[in-house]
A and B are shown apart, each in its own frame.
Chain A
Amino acid sequence: ETGVTQTPRHLVMGMTNKKSLKCEQHLGHNAMYWYKQSAKKPLELMFVYNFKEQTENNSVPSRFSPECPNSSHLFLHLHTLQPEDSALYLCASSPRRARETQYFGPGTRLLVL
Chain B
Amino acid sequence: RKEVEQDPGPFNVPEGATVAFNCTYSNSASQSFFWYRQDCRKEPKLLMSVYSSGNEDGRFTAQLNRASQYISLLIRDSKLSDSATYLCVVNGYNNNDMRFGAGTRLTVKP
Are these two chains actual partners, yes or no?
yes
Mostly helix, strand, loop or mixed at chain A's interface? Answer: loop
Complex contacts, A97 vs chain B, CB 8 Å = 96-97
Q: Which of A50-105 contact B (CB under 8 A)?
A: 55-56, 90, 97-105
Given A99-B32, A101-B34, answer yes or no on A106-B42 (Cβ-Cβ < 8 Å). Answer: yes
Taking the nearest CB of chain A, how far is it from the CB of B73, in angstroms? 16
Given A43-B100, A56-B97, A101-B49, answer yes or no on A2-B43 (Cβ-Cβ < 8 Å). Answer: yes
Interface pair A99/B95, CB less than 8 Å apart: yes
Number of interface residues of A (CB under 8 A): 21
Taking the nearest CB of chain B, how far is it from the CB of A55, in angstroms? 8
Number of interface residues of B (CB under 8 A): 22
Complex contacts, A56 vs chain B, CB 8 Å = 97
Besides A41-B102, A99-B91, 13 new A-B residue pairs in contact (Cβ under 8 A), listed by A number: A2-B43, A42-B4, A42-B101, A45-B98, A90-B43, A97-B97, A99-B31, A99-B95, A99-B96, A99-B98, A101-B46, A102-B46, A103-B46
What is the 8 Å Cβ interface bit string for chain B, positions 20-32, against chain A (1 contact, 0 not)?
A: 0000000000011
A40 to B31, CA, bound (A): 26
Interface pair A106/B32, CB less than 8 Å apart: no
Give the interface of B toward A (CB within 8 A).
4, 8, 31-32, 34, 42-46, 49, 87, 91, 95-103
Taking the nearest CB of chain A, how far is it from the CB of B90, in angstroms? 10
Please tell me which one of the listed residues B43, B91, B100 contacts residue A105 in the complex, with CB atoms under 8 A apart: B43
A93 to B74, CA, bound (A): 27
Complex contacts, B97 vs chain A, CB 8 Å = 45, 48, 56, 97
A102 to B35, CA, bound (A): 11
Top 10 nearest A-B pairs (CB, nearest first) are A99-B32, A104-B43, A43-B100, A42-B102, A99-B91, A98-B96, A42-B100, A101-B46, A106-B43, A104-B44
A40 to B44, CA, bound (A): 14
Most buried by B among A41, A43, A97: A43
